[in-house]
Structures are given as structure tokens and as C-alpha cells.
Structure 1
């Protein structure tokens, strides 16, 4: 089954039984970053050169390279509107995409959509797992890379980079006797490794840096609000 990297990331962050997001409270930049990385891997976008130390390099769409998947195509169209920074794009691309990705996974028979109300008043949607076969395969590939020291393929390495940016790599695999610190270190090693061409790496690095900044900002805002 062919899925988007963003779909795989969402599956990893959803609790299979409850259908709740358990891995992050800030899915928008994470899923937006996943879409941006997939566009880079497919050659649909590229990062321009920095014109000065004060300016952020801009991401631009590659003409005549629109993807077929409707969610990915919508993301491509946003990038194609004009050149923007990766930090701008991860929020734009991630806006509202969680529900679209989940509904697409429902159509694939992987998740089930459940709508209810909290206290009988507030609408809530959850997506418990129906068929975990694909997700189990993703976790096996991640375990091979993060725990068993195997060289990941490009797609698995991209998911590791996303999980590393969220500091969740150690949460999605069985450690098999090694520590969380060791899994984190391996995730960092893979994330920074030379597993993609330079043009793709530039886009991935920009997306991961933008995700990290967005997550840090969200965490700081939450801390300030509760202190």
C-alpha cells in the first residue's frame, strides 16, 4: 500500500485504540513539514540560495512536477503560489490537513472515524485503528534503523527526521534493551546523515528546522499560558 509520509506520521502519533493524538499537541507544523519533505523527495519543490545572512532561503515549486495525490497536490499548489520560507510553509501546509489525512486513511480501510461530543456539548472526532498492518510495517522499518542499526531507505530516514524534530523517535519503537538516549542519538545521526541528494537535503533541513522552531514556539506559549 502506497501512503504519504504525512499519513505514516499521523498513524504513529495516533493511539490505535482511542484514536487520540498522543505523540504531539502541535500536529499542524509536524504534518505540514511531512508534506513539504515528501514534495522535496519527489522533486516537486526546491530551496533557493540564501541571498544574505539576514534572509531565509525560500522554497519554490518545480514547474511541471505536480503530484497526483490530492492532498499532496493541494500542498504543491500552495508552494506554487509564490516563494515562501519553510517556516511559513509548514504552518500553511499543515492547516486543517490532519482531518483530510485521517479521512483518506479511513478510505484506505486503515482507520475508523468516530464522531461524538464531550459532555454532550463539544464535538470531537477520533480515528481508532481498524487495520494496523501497514503501521506495523512502518514501525518495523523504524526499529531496524533506530534500534538494530540498519541503514534506512530514503522514506524511512525522512520519517526519522520528522520524529527527531518532534523528539518522539524513542516513543514509537521497542528499544530491545537500549536506552531512550541511544535511540535519540541514532535518530539524530540518521536525521543529519547524507541519505538524500543535496537539493533534497536542503529542503528537508529547512522543513525540519521550521518544524523545530514551530514546536518550540508552541511549547513556550503553552508554558507561559499555564504559569
Structure 2
């Protein structure tokens, strides 16, 4: 199956980055060329996709016993191909958030990374080790976008700035990924930062986030599901 890539706009330029792109760019560690939380990355990227859909009111949730189901809003398909693929999957029938994460997440890494490469945010080079084995190296692309995103998240978590809804979701997902300690000392791993991150996880974003209560609830449900998926051992 060909991975879905973002369609350019009428001027031939790529559209605005998705939340999954912003999150993967933050998780990329320029010093080592690695991506933090690689082992559970597909849950986190899927969470970002669902959160993006929630923020734009393309999906909604409903209780189903002890679980929460997520479903597409009819007639509200997103134009972005990665988001549209997830929306189409959810349009067939409502699914538990956990099931949606597991279904949507596995194929996301490569197309999301490819978008960052095409934007110039990350540079990928192929090289040979010992003249025999081909390997891939990732480097910072020098656009400065990762630093700007990190600065926005830092202002929310460290300085207590009331975030825009998108930044609140991004910070909550970063917390949900379990990788936040790796951003120390840029984002200090302190009790106040942990407390603030937990507030964002619960959807307590403050008035400045300017998002409807239902949107916050859906996003909080998604982030909580990511936390559960990452921290609980798989059932045999």
C-alpha cells in the first residue's frame, strides 16, 4: 500500500503541518539523530492524528460502558490525506479509542517522517557502514521549526502560559508519550512541570486555549488512552 502523502495546495505548496508532524519533529533528537519513544511511537502518532481530528471537529466520542468510542462526524471529511485515512476508518463504525489507536498508528511513522523531510525540517541521508551495510542517518534540517515548537511547549509547561488549543494538545501528547524527561534541561523535569502536564492531559487548558469543552474532552480522552496504551503491559 502506498503511504498517504499530503496534497499540495493550489499554489503547489504543502499545507500546514499536522499535529502528528509537529509531535514527531519534537520527538526527533538532533544530537543523536534518533526519535524518542520509538518503541511506542505508533500509539503516540495515532493519538496526534485523533487529536487533530478532534480539534477540527471531524470526530466525536461517546461512552460505551467502561470504554469510550470515537466516530467520524458525517459530512466532515478532512482534506489532508493522512487525517482522511483515519477519518475513513472511523466512518465505517464507531470504535473504542484504544482500537482506533492500534489500527491507525502502525503505518504512520514513514509518511509523517517523509513530510518532515520534504519540508526541510529533518534531513535524511543514506550511508554505508564498513563499506557493506547501508544505514540511514537523520539530522536537523536547519529550518528552526523544532526550536520554535519546543519554545511554545516550554512556555506552557514551565512558564504557565495559557496555550492555544493546538499547543495544549501537543504538550499533552508529549507528556503522554512518556518522553518528557528526555527534554531536560530545556524543559526541566520538575514537580511543577509534571503537575502542569497532568492538567493538560485532563483537558484543563485554561481560557486561552479557546476550544469548545467537547473538543477538550475528546482530546483529553485520546491523550489518556495513549498513556494507558503505553504504560499498561499488553494482555496475553
TM-score w.r.t. the length of structure 1 is 0.83
Quick one: structure 1 residues 125 and 65, their matched pair in 2 at CA, closer, same or farther if it must change by over 3 Å? farther
Question: Structure 1 or 2: larger helix share?
Answer: 1
Aligned equivalent of 2:225: 210
Encode CA deviations 1:154-197: one digit per residue, 9 max, x unaligned: 01100111122123334336458x65222111111233205432
The partner residue of 1:201 within 201, 210, 216 is 216
> What is the deviation of 1:17?
4.1
Quick one: structure 1 residues 61 and 22, their matched pair in 2 at CA, closer, same or farther if it must change by over 3 Å? same
The partner residue of 2:30 within 10, 13, 16 is 16
How many residues matched?
Answer: 216
5+ residue gaps, structure 1, are 222-227
The partner residue of 1:47 within 53, 61, 79 is 61
CA distance in 1, matches of 2:42, 2:102: 6
CA distance in 2, matches of 1:117, 1:215: 34
Quick one: structure 1 residues 80 and 126, their matched pair in 2 at CA, closer, same or farther if it must change by over 3 Å? farther
Q: Does the aligned pair in 2 maintain the 1:175–1:183 contact within 8 Å? A: no
Question: Structure 1 or 2: larger strand share?
Answer: 2
Encode CA deviations 1:76-119: one digit per residue, 9 max, x unaligned: 11111221010011121111201110001111111122345778
CA distance in 2, matches of 1:122, 1:29: 30
Q: Which portions of structure 1, spanning 4 or more consecutive aligned residues, are displaced by more than 6 angstroms?
A: 117-123
5+ residue gaps, structure 2, are 1-14
> What is the deviation of 1:51?
4.4
